[in-house]
Structure 1
């Protein structure tokens, strides 16, 4: 499936099919035990990605690629960053705006669109948490290489689904029993596979592996990319 086709399916899923589910998941509302593990895993991963960036981001222009309900964007703004928060789901962006403290609204620009759109300009750093986990290695390499090329000095902190036996089994199960009402399947990858794809495409981007987070049904690998 092409990048564009996957992106269209994700837009439908996050903006229509499951927008209320994700609004609840990213709040303090009660959720099922399984979804609670996902919430805890995402909280842990968000902290891990933030640890890759400087603690003081005063006046830095930072991209939050796939900002969802705005949790990452708010924390970046609290560090002093001017955040461009991009997401394909207008409904989740509405949630993000409602949740953003008033004193931070002038530091966060919420925009609907493609996180790879070059018209958003250049940045000092970027974060892409669970925004690329549905794509194949070639598309991830193009995205990471393209985003890294638009950074002036800082890193791109992002996640992939690690290639574990559990995630590979879940991926094959999803292919065997597809359902139209859920998001495209998560695609597990090894960091070295993405690094090889970056090199093959001519990017000088170098990847560094950081912590892997595993909480119940949430499994994700933090990576750092620098040009």
Structure 2
């Protein structure tokens, strides 16, 4: 499946199928114990990715690539960053914009569409939390090459690691008709990705978060 087909499938899922679920998960509303582990894991991963950036982001332009409901956007703006918050789902972008406090709105530009579009301009840093997890190794390489060409600092992103649990879920998921399931995460090994991008930049390991049903690996790319 090409990048464009995967992107369109992700847009359909989050904008038409899972909007309400995602809105609830990213709020303070009560959720099931399983989703609570995902909520906690995502909070831990946000902290991990943010820790790779300077504490003071005043005057720093940051792309929140795949901003979702805007939790990362909020944190970046609180640090003083000029944020471009992009998501393929217009519904999630609206939720993110509505939730952002008025005091932070001047620091954020929201847009719905492809996070890789050159129309978004150049950046000091990029954060792509859980927005590349559905893509192939070649697609991730092209995404990093694209973003790296317009980024003076780092591109911090996450992948689904190749753990036995996730690999089992991946193979099991392939047995179901595509129309009956959400976009499937594609697990990746950091060492293999490091070799794949070695000719365009350096890949650093930022650590892993393992919280119940949320398992994610943080990586930093520097062109």
Q: TM-score range by the shorter chain?
A: over 0.9
Structure 1 unaligned regions, length at least 5: none
Are 1:41 and 2:41 matched, yes or no?
Answer: yes
CA displacement at 1:225 relative to structure 2: 0.7
Contact preservation (8 Å) 1:163, 1:188: yes
Contact preservation (8 Å) 1:126, 1:157: yes
CA displacement at 1:210 relative to structure 2: 1.2
CA displacement at 1:119 relative to structure 2: 1.4
Contact preservation (8 Å) 2:170, 2:185: yes
Aligned to 2:66: 66
Matches within 5 A, 1:1-227: 1-152=1-152, 154-199=153-198, 202-203=199-200, 205-227=201-223
CA deviations over 1:86-133 (Å, ceiling 9, x no partner): 001111111111110110001011100100001111001110000000
CA displacement at 1:183 relative to structure 2: 2.2
Contact preservation (8 Å) 1:64, 1:127: yes
Contact preservation (8 Å) 2:125, 2:151: yes
Helix, strand or coil at the partner of 2:84:
strand
In 2, the alpha carbon distance for the partners of 1:70 and 1:198 equals 29
Helix, strand or coil at the partner of 1:194:
helix
In 2, the alpha carbon distance for the partners of 1:208 and 1:36 equals 29
CA deviations over 1:12-33 (Å, ceiling 9, x no partner): 0000100000000000011111
CA displacement at 1:165 relative to structure 2: 0.5
CA deviations over 1:166-216 (Å, ceiling 9, x no partner): 0000000000123524321100001122222224xx42x100001100111
Q: CA RMSD in A?
A: 1.0
Helix, strand or coil at the partner of 1:213:
strand
